[in-house]
Amino acid sequence: MSVDTALDLMERQASVAGLVQIIFILAGIVAAWFALQQVRWDVFLKRPNHPLSKLLLILLSIVIGYNAARFLIDYMALTTVLRSLF
């Protein structure tokens, strides 16, 4: 295997890994959005239908979804490293 072929293979693997991470993060944000729709925001917010309240919901979805997705991505990466241990 030549050096160019090895580099192309590594580049392709990195691209696929990046695409999988983007999909996981977007899926996490969407899942967080749907989960946060079940919360009764009128109990916590003065005006739950105000645009700033919607912005808060979007930002919470991004924060929660991103962190949940990063946890899953890191967990998958660490479990693949653990396989080489045994």
Average pLDDT over residues 34-40: 95
Which sequence spans correspond to the domains of the chain? 3-83
Q: pLDDT averaged over the chain?
A: 91
Which distant-in-sequence residues (6+ apart) come within 8 Å of 81 by Cβ? none
Choice between 3 and 19, residue whose per-residue pLDDT is larger: 19
CB atoms within 10 A of CB 16: 10
- pLDDT per residue over 38-72, tens digit each? 999 989 899 989 999 999 999 999 999 999 999 99
pTM: 0.84
Torsions phi, psi of 38, nearest 5?
-85, -5
